[in-house]
Amino acid sequence: MRARSHNEVASIREALALLGLTGPVEGEALTAAFRIAIKAARPEAAGGSEARFRRTIAAWRLIQRQTAPLALAGPANRPATPPVLAISPLDALRGGVVEVRPEGRRLRVRVPAGLRTGEHLRLRAAGEGGADLYLPVLVRGAHGLSAVGDDLYMTCPVSPRLLEDGGRLEVETHAGPRSAWLVAGHQPLRLRLKGLGLPARGSRPQGHLFVTLEPCEDAPSAAEDLLVRFTRVWTPDRMAA
């Protein structure tokens, strides 16, 4: 038996996981998921590598082969493709209302918190002839956040001096400021903030927030960060007391 190389993808389930998908998708939703995954897998990206880049492409091709129609298949009347329900990471986190246009109509859809790319949202009796309509979900990057599977990703500018000397780093997240300690001489490219990803929903677990640190000369220093936190807590009324 031939040993599997590290670039191969053994199954559709593995291919879907590499693209951050939870179930079969096609069309625009599949293309968008591939673009997000291949961008994160690039060797020059934080956490990316040449092996991951090649496996992502292999996963994309495997899904395409599995979902491609047979050459002789030609249904006379193909059903209309439902529009993609494109939502932002904040909509996926908290829920919200999104507008879609199925078959020329305009509908305002209430989105529950916790949707992932590749899932489907059912609209009862909204399809042709009163049938249920299933909209494929796509979580598009926005507001400095992107989503892959259960997890969220963002970047945070950091002073090069703080990376060299270590110290307390405060990250402004969607859930408010969060603190992390950097060790002198150790420069992590990415931090994981537990439990700040997409909320648990059904069989899907609570995700995490991954923060990529980007050295930036204009980023606040450790001293400036301390001053910001001091002024946030010590208001004039509190100092007078």
Say whether pLDDT at 71 is over 60: no
| pLDDT 10s digits, 89-126 | 999 999 999 988 877 788 888 999 999 999 999 888 87
Tell me the chain's radius of gyration from C-alpha atoms: 22
Q: How far apart are CA 38 and CA 16, in angstroms?
A: 13
Amino acid sitting at position 106: R
* CB distance 112 to 95 below 8 Å: yes
pLDDT value at residue 2: 40
Q: What is the mean pLDDT of residues 198-205?
A: 93
pLDDT value at residue 224: 53
170 Cβ neighbours under 8 A, 6+ residues apart: 177, 178, 179, 225, 228, 229
* CB distance 225 to 156 below 8 Å: no
* Model-wide pTM > 0.75: no
| pLDDT 10s digits, 153-172 | 999 999 888 888 888 889 99
Share of the chain above pLDDT 90, in %: 30
pLDDT value at residue 92: 95
pLDDT value at residue 5: 43
pLDDT value at residue 16: 85
Q: What is the mean pLDDT of residues 194-218?
A: 92
* CB-based burial label for 136 (10 Å; 0-12, 13-18, 19+): buried
From the list 129, 8, 153, 32, the residue with the least C-alpha distance to 85 is: 32
39 Cβ neighbours under 8 A, 6+ residues apart: 45
Average pLDDT, the chain: 81
| pLDDT 10s digits, 18-44 | 888 877 777 788 888 888 888 888 887
pLDDT value at residue 116: 95
Q: How far apart are CA 192 and CA 218, in angstroms?
A: 23
DSSP 142: B
Q: How far apart are CA 131 and CA 127, in angstroms?
A: 5
- Pairing type for strands 96-100 and 107-111 reads antiparallel
pLDDT value at residue 6: 45
Say whether pLDDT at 72 is over 60: no
pLDDT value at residue 12: 85
pLDDT value at residue 44: 79
* CB distance 7 to 51 below 8 Å: yes
